[in-house]
Chain A
Amino acid sequence: MTETRKGLGSTTVPKLSVKEHAAPGESPTVITVNKLDVHYGTFCAVRGVSMKIKENRVTAFIGPSGCGKSTVLRCFNRMNVLIPGARVTGEINFFGQDLYAAEVDPTEMRSRVGMVFQKPNPFPKSIYDNVAFGLKVNGYTGNYPDAVERSLKRAALWGEVKDRLKENALQLSGGQQQRLCIARALAPEPEVLLMDEPASALDPISTLAIEQLINDLCTDVSIIIVTHNMQQAARVSHETAFFMVDDDRAGYLVEFDDTSNIFTNPNDERTEAYITGRFS
């Protein structure tokens, strides 16, 4: 839980450093997970997860409740360390740098990996201040109003809020709040955006807006989305990871493949059982 400021400078983690490893026609890898285990105290929540997340693609995590997909997601920005007793073993490589190495500062790393939560959670501040928060804490040196406008435009919210930037964010509708949270997460210009069931608290129309947004955003940011909604995973993602939970209630990865393969021609019969609904 203690966080020291040692500094993972962008000098030690060159951006897009693994591009040369990419095979032709395939996106380079952003995050490599190798034999990841997560424990909460003595309880093993996730066991033996290995996968490669590709750049500027949408990766969906699906699976039944308690299968550890949110836990794995939270490993990618070290939010797990905020939970007392949480322990992460194995390796997570972020652009070639071990994310859990001692010299990596989670505070700095988190500005490169944005996160959107299940329930919209804007701060009880103005719309402007919400977006500017991430700029401020990360010492943004550019023009703030421009950066706020850019982020709100990327989150497809600018047109609805441009005349009311000073209003309290809690006055927005649920769907608008969630898009504001996306704008807030985009402001520090992260390379990866983690989304933990971002539409599960929203109505169908707002959900559609979020899905459209995910589609637009993935041209320049890698998105990992946890969802309970299999249609959503099929609609928005390029690749899908299917998790299950074993008899000890530990989550594990069953299958990771192109979304089209997972939904039409899965390798594992458990995946097929789950996506066709023959599964408790």
Chain B
Amino acid sequence: MRSPSSFNHHLGRRKILGSIALVVFMSSVVVGILGLVVLLAQVLFQGLEWLSPELIFNFPSRHPEQAGLKAAIFGTLWLMGLTAAFTVPVGVGAAIYLEEYATENWLTRLIEVNIANLAGVPSIVYGLLGLALFVQLLSLGRSVLAGALTMSLLVLPIVILASREAIKAVPETYRQAAFALGATKWEVVRSVVLPSAYPGVLTGIILAMSRAIGETAPVIAISALVYLTFVPQNPLDRFTVLPIQIFNWIARPQEDFRGLAAGGIIVLLIVLLSMNALAVFLRNRYQKQSVE
């Protein structure tokens, strides 16, 4: 027999606690969103009037009304393209090795911990490393190639970590089924593991590229704050990128350059968002094909 006196439900108090939790969590969301909205509103307010064909198709100039981002846009595209070309094969390859091939021992655990730590190293450190290693030691000069290699080092941990998580999430039963059918290790990885992990891997690549496109410090170390009136023609050319051009304009005393910088931020956001949109589109299309 259940005696009512042995339970004290405190229903009222528990429900109030629940409501407090709801308010706390909701305000966390509001704070985040509000900050973003204010930031965007200010940038749009300042920069919209400066959005013009000149901003996109002109090289930088001393005259605000003629100044443009052409060199920075092309530099950014070059840097992103080369960084992706280095990061994706190396990052995904490292993740495959660590998850599928490496045996669990102190060495692999040490590598794992170090990769996680590398993801948290300040980007200027990578910039200085790139300056010493690629620019000077390997004599690549202050080139877009040296910049891309440096940027790859910076974002590799992100790609490796995300890809490993995606590979880890592939059910073990898929691998067993493939092995039981007489597939080799590589066939299992290529035909079963990678297709299932692909959406997660792509997410990691999106994150890494989004990080790379906004990074300023390592590029300043590699390329310095330059005034370029040409577009890189090959990987060994000098380059500048959008965040640097924006930083350059903000540092000017004239009021008009601040508006120009705001316009530059809008362009940077558009490039970033369209890159992400493309990747999200690819991922969703693939997910629909492969899983449910």
Contact = CB atoms under 8 A, between A and B. Distances in A.
Interface string A111-135: 1001101010111110000000110
Interface stretch (A27-35, A180-188, A204-212, A261-269): A180-188
A77 B183 CA distance: 13
Nearest to B184: A107
Contacts of B290: 124-125, 168
Contact of B184 (A79, A125, A137, A168): A137
B97 interface: no
B114 interface: no
Given A1-B103, A170-B292, A133 B181 contact: yes
B291 A188 contact: no
Nearest to A82: B179
Interface residues of B, number: 24
B184 A3 contact: yes
A272 interface: no
B181 A188 contact: yes
A243 to B, nearest CB: 22
Nearest to A168: B292
B68 to A, nearest CB: 47
| Category for how many chain A residues contact B | 20 to 34
Given A1-B103, A82-B176, A123-B174, A184 B181 contact: yes
Interface of A: 1, 3, 5, 77, 79, 82, 84, 107-111, 114-115, 117, 119, 121-125, 133-134, 136-138, 168, 170-171, 181, 184-185, 187-188
Nearest to A194: B180
Residue with the greatest number of chain A CB neighbours at <10 A, chosen from B174, B180, B191: B180
A117 B176 contact: yes
A122 B181 CA distance: 12
Contacts of B185: 3
Contacts of B214: none
B174 A111 contact: no
Given A115-B176, A138-B181, 13 more contacts: A107-B182, A110-B180, A110-B181, A115-B177, A115-B180, A117-B180, A123-B174, A124-B290, A125-B195, A125-B290, A133-B178, A168-B290, A170-B291
B32 interface: no
Nearest to A5: B184
B173 A111 contact: no
Nearest to A111: B182
Contact of B182 (A110, A124, A170): A110
Contacts of B176: 79, 82, 115, 117, 121
A79 to B, nearest CB: 6
B49 interface: no
Nearest to B191: A133
Contact of A185 (B104, B181, B187): B181
A107 B180 contact: no
